[in-house]
Structure 1
Amino acid sequence: MTSESLAAAVDRAGSPVELLRHSAARAMTFPVAPEFTNWRSEQRAWAETCALLDQSHHMTDLFLSGPGALDLLRGLAVNSFEGFGVDKAKQFVAVNPDGQLIGDAILFHLEDELFDLVGHPMVIDWVLFHLQRGDHDVTAERDDNSAVRTDGPPRLYRYELQGPTAAAVLEQATGAPLPDTKFFHMATFTVDGATVRALRHGMAGQPGFELFGPWADGERVLQALLTAGADHGLVRAGAKAYSTANLESGWVPAPIPAVFGDDPLLQEYREWLPASAIGAIGGSVDSADIADYYLTPYDLGYDRNVKFDHDFVGRAALEALAVAPPRRKVTLVWHPEDVAAAMGSLVEEGPGAKYLDLPKIRYALHQEDQVLLDGRPVGVSLDCGYIANERVMVSLAAVDLACAEPGTEVVVRWGEEPNSRKPQVEEHRVVDIRATVAQAPYVQFARSSYRDR
């Protein structure tokens, strides 16, 4: 990692937008095999049988222990911590003092005074910053993802079993009936003599369990799962398929962290944060004001997470915003003829449309494409790709309430004008792709059954 701070990098570039628009940072990569069979069949497995996704390498863990850990976390999360006991997990959502999104991660309550915060580094950096600047009786251990770790394997393995036969695979692997485990609760199993903890949830909006334990046990647990899965249609899913799972479940993975404001806390944070911790902006949104790229929890459907039963950074701003949130998260289903025309332009006289790299077509960590209605901006398209199970190209978007009703016709502007200097951006022209507003999550099962408590 570079030693240059984010504050210094912004000064050098002239503005946050100039820095992020032309950054050489790549989109999120999953350091596992791209495919084990093919990504279409691997997507199909989590809808029809069972997919096994290896989560061991692409996420960062922050282990927090000590009597002050709960208070530290409570003061930075919009979430309530009432009833958050051991063997429970939650989506941890953090905002800046103005109520704008820093990011989200999954928080595991492992023991009485031990927590594991897992996900993209945005929230983990924010929590570490507050830990180091405050007086907290907390010990922290950070385990970076395998793309940047320099000292051996991960501390934990993580395997996601996802799909209609996931429970049958796990019962065969454990040799026992599964306990009745509520959504986002944990249970403990034994697999080939190894103690395994499992979180009940679903990355692609299908029934699933996230299994984790010491790295040393990972290979034998994996082999036991593969052996049991042979009788239940288990398919290993590689990085290409895995990268699209969120499009079905409706989770937006990497909104721009709102860290560039004038608040003294944010200025201090930018001095502390390495510039390499922030990814690049890609897409047709072209405002020179970085604040125009920010989102709030309400924009991404996190209304259910926001609870005003405790004090936290950004509470006052969110209380004001909660009265009438201006945007809603939706799925945009891209019109097939416009998608076909964009892809067809690649074999016509150029320049053609920005390349669509299936199945995940975003090309920057922070994808930001304009959404228009009758030629005027009404929102932003944030993450995009192809769902083979539904045979559709979609994007997750935050749009104005007035155009959030399913069936509304909008336009996504695909590409950049002018083209940025990012290495993943070739000469191209911006194209308009019509899209129809649909619900998020897009897949019916994800909207209902898998979140049943």
Structure 2
Amino acid sequence: MSGTDNAVGSEVSVAGLTAAIHDVPAYPEIPTYLNILGSLHIWEGDGWKQESMSWKTSSYLASNLSGLPEIIFSGPNAQEFLSRLSINNVYKWPVGTSKHLVMLDENGYIANHGLTVRQNEDTFRHFAAMPWPVYKAPSLGLDVGIALRDIFLFQVAGPTSLQVLERLTGKSLRDLQFLGVEQITVPGIESADIELSRIGMAGTLAYELRGPLEHGPAVFDAVYQAGKHFGLKRLGWRTYVVNHTEGGFPQQGCTFLPAAFADPEFVGHPVFGATLPPSQVGNPLPGSIDPWNLSARLRTPFEVNWGWMAKFDHEFIGRAALEAEAADRRRKTVVLRWNKEDVLDVFASQFEPGEEYKHFEFPTTPQSPAGGHADLVTKDGKPVGVSSVAVYSYYYREMLSHSTIDLDLAEIGTEVIVHWGDHGGRIKQIRATVERFPYLELASNKDFDLSAIPSGVLAQ
């Protein structure tokens, strides 16, 4: 792993893993892991190029969303509690299914988002998200039970992911619908409470496995062993954000910052503030935009193309600001494809005298997880948007980024300029073209034809 500037985690060698929570095994063939907020994560599993290809040609296994506890809301007021926090309508929600809940601060910026399962009429479980609901609970004045549970959360995604999971469980999983949840048994860990959900961010067929943290390493390895036959790769943090960029899923903490960073009470709280990556709190942030300009790094639901989730049929924090934006939308997120010749100029500068341009780390710059990166985007010399993390797509052999851009420039084919570099340093003006969003041209999870996939169950 070359360099850790602005990365959330710290490098950990295999010999130094005892201090971290083990939700994945310490494989001797994987030399470097990340300790992110006390949780162990793979940095590079099976080679970043193979990992980049995995969700198009085979499948991957990733633990990158592990490390944050499951938050359980219960009681007669639990549904009203989530309604007061979320832009979504949480009443049209069948038991045993999932929703992607989006929560705002009072200014309409995304403060928190994450998958939530409705366990029963009065119980909801929230995953891989910041404790924003716990922080806001006192101000809502509702009697709600709130509990935390340490869990593992693994993602299995790609065209062979269903076969991998069928080989793992020894049974057909074809009846599990998109956003559905099902209890499964992993051989050798029969006593564990493990669930499978058909959801993911790779832009293609994808699933999540969740269960008690103490079973994490055993479950991870069981999936890995079951998946070898189907070409499964262990996806590390080095490559993880590539699938967000290709698949059209902006992610807080990676491509933008949650609004909690702009809330001094949250940041300064001894418990809640500890959930924020220390390298991104109180430190200058990367990119050509002023490193202390937090607002350039926050996003609203409409800016990340999630405005369709907003239902103005209930009161929620940030509703007034979001309604005002809905009536006067100004920006959306697009994919930018960067000009090859200009990208090559960045590399060429490393071999020339004088100050070089900021170099690229393949496949992601800044190295992920790296929320808060923000590059200025202009058109005819005028600011028109903000570009986030730069990603090299080995599949397409292109440099790509997500950019929040003025609506009148969001048409495919529009040419803009990305100002690449860090504020105060040498800046390279890179030509870029607005492209399709999402960029990945494969069947989505929701629309994937499972009937075309051979069974992964071993013949008896």
CA contact (8 A) 2:184 2:196 kept: yes
- Deviation string 1:55-99 (CA, Å, 9 cap, x unpaired) is 463445323333332222110111111322332222221122232
The reply to whether residue 377 of structure 1 matches residue 378 of structure 2 is no
Q: CA deviation at 1:271?
A: 6.2
1:69-218 equivalent positions in 2, closer than 5 A? 69-121=78-130, 124=131, 126-142=132-148, 155-192=150-187, 193=190, 194-218=192-216
Aligned to 1:253: 251
Aligned to 2:228: 230
Q: What is the aligned residue count?
A: 401
Aligned-pair RMSD on alpha carbons? 2.6
Aligned to 1:332: 336
Equivalent-residue separation in structure 2 for 1:389 and 1:437 (angstroms): 19
Equivalent-residue separation in structure 1 for 2:304 and 2:377 (angstroms): 15
Structure with the larger RCO, 1 or 2 (CA within 8 Å, 6+ apart): 1
Aligned to 1:344: 348
65 and 392 in structure 1: CA distance in 2 versus 1, 3 angstrom threshold: same
Q: Which of these residues, 43, 62, 67, is aligned with residue 76 of structure 2?
A: 67
Aligned to 2:314: 310
Equivalent-residue separation in structure 1 for 2:265 and 2:154 (angstroms): 37
Instruction: Give the TM-score of the pair, scaled to structure 1.
Output: 0.81
Q: Can you give the 5+ residue segments of structure 1 that lack an aligned partner in the other structure?
A: 1-23, 144-154, 419-427
Q: CA deviation at 1:51?
A: 1.1
Aligned to 1:221: 219
Which amino acid is the alignment partner of residue 163 of structure 1?
G
Equivalent-residue separation in structure 2 for 1:288 and 1:218 (angstroms): 38
| 181-190 vs 284-293, which moves further | 284-293
CA contact (8 A) 2:291 2:423 kept: no
Aligned to 1:6: none
Q: CA deviation at 1:139?
A: 2.9
Q: CA deviation at 1:354?
A: 1.4
CA contact (8 A) 2:339 2:430 kept: yes
Equivalent-residue separation in structure 2 for 1:138 and 1:68 (angstroms): 6
CA contact (8 A) 1:66 1:139 kept: yes
SS in 2 for 1:300: coil
Q: Which of these residues, 315, 323, 336, is aligned with residue 319 of structure 1?
A: 323
Aligned to 1:407: 413
Q: CA deviation at 1:257?
A: 3.4
Q: Which of these residues, 20, 32, 42, is aligned with residue 33 of structure 1?
A: 42
Q: Can you give the 5+ residue segments of structure 2 that lack an aligned partner in the other structure?
A: 10-33, 449-460
Instruction: Give the TM-score of the pair, scaled to structure 2.
Output: 0.80
Which amino acid is the alignment partner of residue 301 of structure 1?
N
Q: CA deviation at 1:293?
A: 4.4
Equivalent pairs: percent with the same residue? 31
Q: CA deviation at 1:267?
A: 7.0
| 267-276 vs 383-392, which moves further | 267-276
Equivalent-residue separation in structure 2 for 1:198 and 1:401 (angstroms): 38
Which amino acid is the alignment partner of residue 427 of structure 2?
V
